[in-house]
Amino acid sequence: MYRWYARFRDRREDAKDDARSGRPSTARTDENVEFVRRLPTEDRHTTLQMIADRLNIGKDTGRRIVTEDLGKRKICARFVPHALTTEQKQERVVYCQDLLLMGQDELLWENILTGDEKWCFAYDPATKRQSAEWVGQNSPKPKKIRFKKSRVKMMLIVFFDAKGVIHRVCP
């Protein structure tokens, strides 16, 4: 505040610092940015530490080159249980189109019956996060008793059609 006051007293209207000579940036150069731009073509799994080691720069500088200069982000691949061939995908489209044509008849959808089953614990305790509560500054911390999941499991079975649940089995 004292420096700003002195600047305004000397009739300066800008609070920004004057330009000064400093150490030039040697890490975020155009050559390094171009080098990092070519890296994903060689190895898409390149880490920031690998980039920093290859360019002999800091890891944070490598992160800034990748995120700010190149506008990239790292995402994880989504797991899929299997990959379908082109023929299998085409067969699925044909089957779905056949179902849609058959579905124009209302009686078909009314006659479809399906079911599902699920194993459930008899007692499922709340997590620590679920049992969080608001307290005052001087209030004692709330206590949570540690429960284990129940060893007793139940099978929940539900059958339903287009109109809703037909039958459920829950012991």
List Cα–Cα distances, 90 to 86, 96, 104, in angstroms.
Answer: 6, 10, 22
pLDDT of residue 124: 61
Is residue 35 within 8 A of residue 27, CB to CB? The reply is: no
Q: Residue 144: what pLDDT?
A: 62
Instruction: Give the span between the Cα atoms of 63 and 28, in whole angstroms.
Output: 11
- Full-model pTM: 0.38
Residue 63: exposure state from Cβ atoms within 10 A (0-12, 13-18, ≥19) = middle
Give per-residue pLDDT as tens, 85-131: 889 889 989 988 887 787 777 666 777 788 888 887 766 666 666 66
DSSP code for 149: P
